[in-house]
Structure 1
């Protein structure tokens, strides 16, 4: 680093914040861009020329999936008629060319971490989301392998400060296990990105209209790997724990039914990461995954942390009303039939208006529009929605939610105030918020600002110094070391901690 660069790094707002801290700063979410000509060499190695061509087409369509790319080819009227969602556009900080180059050049990014006020960063290459969400198995698997090998190689020299995630496809548990083992055991990667969901065809429609590609594109369901999944993903969760890998997702919900505006990107964007993350977390909770695998750790990134506290509260609310035996208070079989009849005979004459009604008609009327299913038998195994999670008391909800999930919170996201307010949920405790700068995307036009922006909340009294430490160090450190105590061995984090302990 030159003298001028060192001076600039020292003078940045974030560097000044870091300079007053006696603990490391861990950024759990910096986005990077690949050098396509070199990446294509890796793609050719694993997928051949055909996959290279597919990758180039992906770049030509601005990195969009097929449905989003169609938006650009369609006329305004066709976008309305087909309800083609307005896809993201201009997603990188183009005007800040220095920063744009920084997230594309490993050596420069490593050099500038001081300026960013960061000791260590976990990297999410933008290209990694493409292969793991592809429905084409050959493309998905070969491109995932190539992307992982490429990033393992180019960031290996900077392992003391930077680590990229491994992209793990998860259309089946088997392919996920295979890529996870290769990424960790062969490539030396140590954290992983999985899709937040897999789109699957609706079986009945696919069988009835096997040749209707247009219908299949719109008639799909989302598999969140937990409740109602097409596969048993327990072997994959178990393997990730055995390998010491804590997982993360970075998936959104743009184009979902309520986020399907053909004209407005921001309409589709706001809270879409939170909605997707919430669906995944609830599926794992209600599917009993977090009960069966208490060691499982998943970071749900770029979604804010407040929704994690909100859902925790709602789980308790619903359990106290409908969990276990509580749901029986709504069972129509438990009505006091005679009491209702007597009350209607005594107080309902003005409704009868001189006409006679049978006891059965009175009982039927009590349930109003719900009378059609009031006495419908419910399968015993489907009555208690909390059964698979084995919730017997509200404390079990805490144990199946808080230890397992960590919530990525961007630096300027003030909703973290609710997540870190111990009075904001029934347990009087905070959920695990992670400092996730999201650097490299449009919401970070200046790389050196996120840490300072997060600390501004302390200056304003919105969060405490203790909260800030939990956000940028305690929670990230506990997440990555939960199943791998040596995660930070040989890194700047270890060196800084040792220096502080020695002092």
Structure 2
């Protein structure tokens, strides 16, 4: 007996999938861990003390008042006093009990892939990056290995249709390299999930306090290192290792708690757009830091933020290159100003304004444009002027190859803004952005896993996207993300079988 839909009813998604001549690849499925089982793995790695640290790290993911109380335990006065950010509640589906069990039980999830409308799913267990909240470096790394080992063993027998990601900590490049090698070479995992940044202390402030006192203000005196632009570390060895091992890199980085996303009363205020904002910062740091120039074979999946922001940023990059690239900047160079003409025009049209002031050329420049434009002002060097230098941009085509080619943008099934990714009339150079089908089943966004693919097909019937765009969304772009990083990614899977059958 199975837990599928009744034999006389086929899910909308299964019905749509049955009519496709290409596989469906879901790049974002969330699973839940059965706590006693994962804690057994943690105990095997580090005993009861590590289990305690695992529990503490999970609890730390809910912001508290510094005394162990989360938002829901505080009074309105305490929330205002501590500026406690409103965090999620009821983030799991409960009304659909079958789905609750499905997200916990690998065999059931595997059995229901056709109902879901998927041939292959990339899994993001909800504990995959919880070790990042561990108190010290050693605990973080041991916990991460335990969690990755648990997921690798749990899903290994279902690998023709399901693969879990490996969580990789990146507090330092060397830490990332060692955990990446363990996850791939020892555990056999083939996709990684990273946080899009590491929060670090602002040292100029940290140095003013004792270590104990600084703990109380650390979250207010910190910045986010996005591994590329302005990083304290050289992450190139890590990126090189990812290319060597053929590993696609994914992230669900969020910005809740950042300025503008820190409401103490409204979760939706904090939530809407936060994945897109955080992934945008991460991707721009890699682009402007020259990472995608130095490592053109890197492939990044930026999940849960939608795909429209990828098109928007690409458009802005091209627009700003034209205005603020080396050629465009000549329009704003103080040396380009004809000061004699400026004086003459003020003498002819501005006597009421300047009288009885002097019309000395440099004084007039200072009074109109500011002292930064005068002849004796210190100006940025040519290297400092070119924000696109590290990215190696010399044309709009270079921007395409270092933004569009490297980045893939996760779009949830019912997200109508995906149309912007496919709008080759609006996007520069007539390109379509790499939108990838990322159902997000397992989270509150999807009350019924059997509806996800059907909701994406609804966008075709509503003429939001074309049938060709739908194929790119659910197959071609996800396939490209994984196989351009690792040509053998789908070897031995249902995707390979379906493609062979179609050939």
TM-score normalised according to structure 1 size: 0.95
Query: 1:419-434, aligned counterparts within 5 Å?
Result: 419-434=421-436
Match of 1:322 in 2: 324
Superposition map of 1:66-77 within 5 A: 70-77=70-77
Give the 5 Å matches for 1:152-171: 152-171=152-171
| Pair 1:244–1:458, CA change in 2 (3 A) | same
Write out aligned runs for 1:394-413 (5 A).
394-413=396-415
| Partner residue, 1:436 | 438
1:420-444 deviation line (CA, Å, top 9, x unaligned): 1111211101010110000000010
Q: Which residue of 2 aligns with 1:54?
A: 53
1:488 maps to which residue?
A: 490
1:364-396 CA-to-partner distances (Å, cap 9, x unmatched) read 122159769993322443211000001011111
How far apart are 1:418 and its partner, in Å? Answer: 0.8
Q: Secondary structure at the match of 1:391?
A: coil
Cα deviation for residue 3 of structure 1 reads: 9.6
Give the structure 2 partner of residue 121 of structure 1.
121
What is the CA deviation profile of residues 230-252 of structure 1, one whole-angstrom value per residue up to 9, with x for unaligned ones? 10000000101110101100110
Q: How has the CA–CA distance of structure 1 residues 53 and 496 changed in structure 2, closer, same or farther, with 3 Å as cutoff?
A: same
Quote the offset at 1:483 in angstroms. 2.3
Aligned equivalents of 1:141, 1:373: Cα separation in 2: 55
Q: 1:371 to 1:483 in 2, by over 3 A?
A: closer
Counterpart in 1 of 2:458?
Answer: 456
- The total of aligned residue pairs comes to 499
Q: Secondary structure of 1:11's match?
A: coil
**2:301 corresponds to 1:302:** no
1:259 is paired with a residue whose SS is coil
Contact 2:93–2:444 (CA under 8 A) maintained in structure 1: yes
Deviations 1:125-163 (CA, angstroms, capped at 9, x unpaired): 011121235563123211110110000001011111100
- The structural deviation recorded for 1:272 is 0.2
Deviates most, 65-74 or 471-480: 65-74
Alignment partners' CA distance in 1, 2:276 and 2:179: 27
| TM-score, with length taken from structure 2 | 0.95
SS of the residue corresponding to residue 448 of structure 1 reads helix
- Kindly report which structure 2 residues correspond to 1:286-365, keeping only aligned pairs within 5 A, or say none: 286-365=288-367
Counterpart for residue 131 of structure 2: 131
Q: CA deviation at 1:83?
A: 2.1
Given that 1:324 and 1:392 are in contact with CA atoms closer than 8 Å, whether structure 2 keeps it comes out as no
Pick from 244, 247, 250 the counterpart of residue 245 of structure 1: 247
2:472 counterpart SS class: helix
Deviations 1:166-212 (A, max 9, x none): 00000011111111111111111111101111000001001112333
Contact 2:38–2:150 (Cα < 8 Å) also in 1:
yes
Residue 56 of structure 1: how far off its partner (Å): 2.5
CA contact (8 A) 1:31 1:126 kept: yes
C-alpha contact 1:391 1:397 (8 A) present in aligned 2: yes
Q: Which moved more, 1:490-499 or 1:403-412?
A: 490-499
What residue in structure 1 maps to residue 188 of structure 2? Answer: 188
- Cα pair 1:31 1:123 within 8 Å, conserved: yes
User: What SS is found at the alignment partner of 2:441?
Assistant: coil
Compared with structure 1, are the counterparts of its residues 209 and 418 closer, same or farther at alpha carbon in structure 2 (3 Å cutoff)?
Answer: same
1:94 is displaced (CA, Å) by: 1.5
CA shift, 1:354, in A, is 4.8
Q: Secondary structure at the match of 1:482?
A: helix
Deviation at 1:75, TM superposition (A): 2.8
1:40 aligns with 2:39: yes
Structure 2 residue corresponding to 1:226, chosen from 225, 228, 232:
228
User: Within the alignment, does 1:475 sit opposite 2:477 as a pair?
Assistant: yes
CA 1:334–1:102: 2 relative to 1, 3 Å:
same
Match in the other structure for 1:150: 150
Contact persistence 1:305–1:416 (CA under 8 A) = yes
SS in 1 for 2:163: strand
Structure 1 partner of 2:140: 140
Structure 1 residue 284 displacement after superposition: 0.2
Against the structure 1 CA distance between its residues 3 and 185, is the aligned structure 2 distance closer, same or farther, given a 3 Å change threshold? closer
RMSD: 2.0
Q: Retained in 2: the 8 A contact 1:131–1:143?
A: yes
1:384 and 1:434 mapped to 2: Cα distance?
Answer: 33
Secondary structure in 2 matching 1:408: strand
d(CA) in 1 for partners of 2:96, 2:458: 23
| Whole-angstrom CA distance in 1 between matches of 2:400 and 2:10 | 43
Match in the other structure for 1:177: 177
For structure 2, list consecutive stretches of 5 or more residues without a partner in the other structure: none
- Which whole-Å deviations, capped at 9, do the CAs of 1:349-374 have from their partners, x for residues lacking one? 12134555433332212215976999
- Closer/same/farther in 2, CA of residues 65 and 52 from structure 1, 3 Å limit: farther
Deviation larger for 79-88 or 107-116: 79-88
The 1:134–1:55 alpha-carbon spacing in structure 2 relative to 1, beyond 3 Å, is closer
- Please state whether the residue corresponding to 2:170 is helix, strand or coil: coil
